[in-house]
A and B are shown apart, each in its own frame.
Chain A
Amino acid sequence: MSEPKTVLMIDDDSDFVTAVQALLESAGYKVRSAANGRDGLQLAKTLQPDLVLLDVMMSERTEGFFVLQEMRRVPALSNTPVIVMSSIYSDEPVFRVDPEAGWLPASLFLAKPVEPAKLLAEVKRLTSPSEAFAAAAERKQP
């Protein structure tokens, strides 16, 4: 049996973390979590997870965006799949920048509340061997 995939969840909503953790662990994933960006970034560097679930609005409403930028500067994390999960678009209606417009270096953006089946399917997709192979190939490119 292969090693379980590791998912790092960076989110300050402990109830949401507990629910997602139960969902992913029941599907065979190993889940670690951090309640703020600074701790999350540190944990990501040491853990080098297979996937990161990242909140945006934590102690500050743009905290997750800064964490994502910093993650991408770390060679070991530069291609790690990241799913950004946030309610920023509903909480801050003035912010209408399309997450697909190329400015967000994430694999995927999911608006909260997140449909569990959808989340699980995306986690499976992004941690699948073919995705990991594609990410490794990208890393090898000059």
Chain B
Amino acid sequence: MKILKMSKNNLDLFVSVLPAFGEVYAPVKRGDGYAFERPSLWSDVQMNYSRTILPPKKLLLPPREITFVFDPDKGFRDLLAEASKPQVLFGVHSYDIYGLNILDRVFAQAKYPDPYYIKRRKATAVIGVDFVPDEKHCAGSMNADFVDHGFDLFLSDIGDSYLMLVGTSRGDDMVVMSGCLMQQPTAADFEEYKKRSRARRDAYTTRLDLDALPEILEMEYHSKVWDDFGSKCLSCGSCSMVCPTCYCFDIGDETDLGSRAGRRVRSWDSCLLKTHALVAGGENFREERSSRVKFRFYHKQRGFVAEYGRPSCVGCGRCVAVCPAEINIITVIETIRGERDGNASGATASS
């Protein structure tokens, strides 16, 4: 892997040439938070953001996607080509790149590859940037604090400059196109990188013990703790919407009024929603809120481990930030491990 160095003063010039590789999305301020959007000026780009409201998943697996249109007169038209539009995601944190790598496993490397996702992923360049964890990040515990693939370039802050890891030939093309903006790093730069990596690791205030968690979850399947958290959960699905690795979707056909023409639409779904496990005939496999809360945790921390060898949580802290009932993954896991009292943690509804 090639490693270069770029002065922070040159970053705006570097970003100016990125549209050659696709439409550029970067973290910009949105209300009290941040969002991956098209910046209208370099000063819009926030290099020191905490986390975006929605993960970059929204640009690879859109919240609502028309996969094809149909018309009895004009026939059928697949919109797969729409997914090939090149885009550049600039300023993606390591845990979100990890999230994309997990989506790759599900949509690109699984038994039934998803052509829409694969097209978008191939057409998407990813430029990562490191971050300083806040009290909601637990990416360190989830081994998502560092990524070794899934990006074209990765920028690590070393003071006045960034160390730039080149991950792909497309990343190398970006370096070549940007001409003389890069330099060769020195041994002192590498020392600074290591020092800052240690400092970042030490900056985590939230840690999570994953040892034997799948087994403990197996043992605690019928625990009352799930009823406690279930009584608190509002079933709003916000945690799924903001999760970089929640990938459930619904498919439906929409037809125009007075016509037989229409479209097939794929849209985000959530296992927290009551209709998620509702099937024809009216049977609902997870009618109780507690069973839906439990299902989400089991899928993330147990089912995914069994299938893919690691949990699908990346420790971004988004679900903690948005949950209106203040259900916190750390609290849930500590409670189920018996390290925290359920009632004391606020797991039980006050009503």
Bound Cα distance A132, B23 (Å): 26
Q: What is the predominant secondary structure among interface residues of chain A facing chain B?
A: loop
Interface size class of B (residues with CB under 8 A): 20 to 34
Interface size class of A (residues with CB under 8 A): 20 to 34
The stretch that binds B, out of A11-19, A25-33, A92-100, A123-131, is: A92-100
Residues 75-125 of A at the B interface (beta carbon under 8 Å): 92, 94-98, 101-103, 105
Q: Given A60-B12, A94-B10, A95-B179, are A66 and B17 neighbors across the interface (CB < 8 Å)?
A: no
A103 touches B20 (CB 8 A): yes
A62 touches B42 (CB 8 A): yes
- Chain A residue contacts of B259, Cβ below 8 A: none
10 more A-B residue pairs beyond the given contacts A66-B40, A95-B179, A97-B179, with a C-beta to C-beta distance below 8 A: A60-B12, A60-B41, A63-B42, A66-B42, A94-B13, A94-B180, A95-B10, A95-B13, A101-B177, A102-B20
- Chain B residue contacts of A95, Cβ below 8 A: 10, 13, 179, 181
Q: Which of B12, B177, B180 contacts A62 (CB 8 A)?
A: B12
B345 at the interface (CB under 8 A from A): no
B16 at the interface (CB under 8 A from A): yes
Bound Cα distance A123, B17 (Å): 25
Q: Given A94-B181, A97-B177, A103-B177, are A60 and B17 neighbors across the interface (CB < 8 Å)?
A: no
Q: 0/1 per residue, B264-280, Cβ < 8 Å to A?
A: 00000000000000000
The minimal Cβ–Cβ distance linking A69 to chain B, given in whole angstroms, is: 5
- Chain B residue contacts of A73, Cβ below 8 A: 23
Residue on A nearest B11 in the bound complex, by CB: A62
- Chain A residue contacts of B24, Cβ below 8 A: 69
Q: What is the predominant secondary structure among interface residues of chain B facing chain A?
A: helix
Bound Cα distance A102, B177 (Å): 10
Q: Hey, which bits of chain B sit against chain A, CB under 8 A?
A: 10, 12-13, 15-17, 19-20, 23-24, 38-43, 177-181
Bound Cα distance A38, B101 (Å): 37
Q: Given A60-B41, A62-B12, A62-B42, are A69 and B179 neighbors across the interface (CB < 8 Å)?
A: no
A70 at the interface (CB under 8 A from B): yes
- Chain B residue contacts of A63, Cβ below 8 A: 41-42
A37 at the interface (CB under 8 A from B): yes
Bound Cα distance A62, B40 (Å): 10
